[in-house]
A = this chain, B = another copy of it.
């Protein structure tokens, strides 16, 4: 039996839920999960729906066409439909830090992530052995400030060649250019090692230590042109105190980075996130 995921957003209007659920009834779908959200301020409606198509003679193309012709047109919806069994293809970008990479590849190997990882790209060779250990192709694309454009061109070619669906910056220490951001809008996930909007930019643990905070955090977000200002997917924190040195902050932070990035990857891979107004709706 085919399982599909539908994501919808549109202006909030009377009767949307009735229309959608009537449509599912019509195509003999069995709703497994449905959740919706209304942004009252901005008057936007969001829905995520999972259903099984019990009638095997129904073609997916026909369902899509029917949906577009009827409801989607009536309510002026933006919508996406995914086959649940189809794994999204993720590229990992890394530099020298290996803790997030080990964590992601460990989870991947343990079967926790419903994704494919066709490649890892890095501007350094340091983590090539880690990639080798997990048998993931590793592409070393060095660049300097002067030829960064060339480097990125090669990166994009690789992403396109491998039909990558989304990119994860696993402590990748380079700024992504507007060109690539434009190609992968709301499809590049970064992990920032602070509780944003506190301590954006470089060396957040050092700033947190200096400020004497009692809690540190990590934030995963979609990359936008404004550094560390993209839509937040997930955040978490841990307590610190005066007994903790900067090294302790960094060590405790590594666990936060691992967990928060892993959760964001899982949410994105399961199509549970929707972006609007530089925020996310994150369905359960």
Q: Which 9 A-B pairs have the closest CB atoms?
A: A212-B279, A102-B106, A18-B21, A198-B198, A242-B281, A214-B235, A17-B21, A99-B110, A18-B22
- The answer to whether A280 and B212 have CB atoms under 8 Å apart is yes
Cβ proximity bits A19-38 to B, threshold 8 Å, 1 near / 0 not: 00110110000111011111
Q: Are B36's CB and A34's CB within 8 A?
A: yes
**Is A40 close to B, CB under 8 A?**
yes
Q: A232 to chain B: which residues have CB within 8 Å? A: 211-214
Measured between alpha carbons, how far is A9 from B193 in the docked complex, in Å? 33
**What would be 14 A-B contacts, judged by CB atoms less than 8 Å apart?**
A14-B25, A22-B22, A39-B242, A99-B110, A102-B109, A196-B211, A197-B198, A212-B278, A213-B235, A214-B233, A215-B235, A215-B237, A241-B284, A243-B284
Interchain CB contact under 8 A, B102 and A107:
yes
Complex: how many Å from CA A62 to CA B213? 39
What residues of chain B lie closer than 8 Å to A197, measured between beta carbons? 198-199, 211, 213
The 0/1 profile, CB within 8 Å of B marked 1, for residues 240-259 of chain A is 01110100000100110001
Assess whether A195 is interfacial by the CB under 8 Å rule.
yes
How many monomers of this chain does the complex have? 4
What are the residues of chain B within 8 A of A106 when measuring CB–CB?
A: 99, 102-103, 105-106
- Known pairs A196-B211, A215-B217; list 17 more (Cβ under 8 Å): A17-B34, A18-B18, A40-B245, A99-B107, A103-B103, A195-B198, A212-B232, A212-B278, A214-B232, A214-B234, A214-B235, A214-B282, A215-B236, A239-B239, A241-B282, A241-B284, A242-B282
- Residue-wise, chain A 22-65 has the 8 Å CB interface mask toward B (1 for contact) of 10110000111011111110000000000000000000000000
Using CB atoms and an 8 Å cutoff, list the residues of chain A in contact with chain B. Answer: 14-15, 17-18, 21-22, 24-25, 30-32, 34-40, 98-99, 102-103, 105-107, 109-110, 112, 130, 133-134, 195-199, 211-215, 217, 231-237, 239, 241-243, 245, 251, 254-255, 259, 262, 277-282, 284
Chain A at the B interface: SS class: mixed
A231 in contact with B214 given A21-B17, A110-B99, A259-B259 (CB within 8 Å): no
Write out the residue numbers on chain B whose beta carbons fall within 8 Å of the beta carbon of A130: 109
Q: Which B residues lie within 8 Å of A213 (CB)?
A: 196-197, 232, 235
Give CA–CA (A241, B99) in the complex, Å: 28
Taking a contact as CB atoms under 8 Å apart, the answer to whether B15 and A25 are in contact is yes
**A99, A102, A109, A241, most chain B CB atoms within 10 A:** A102
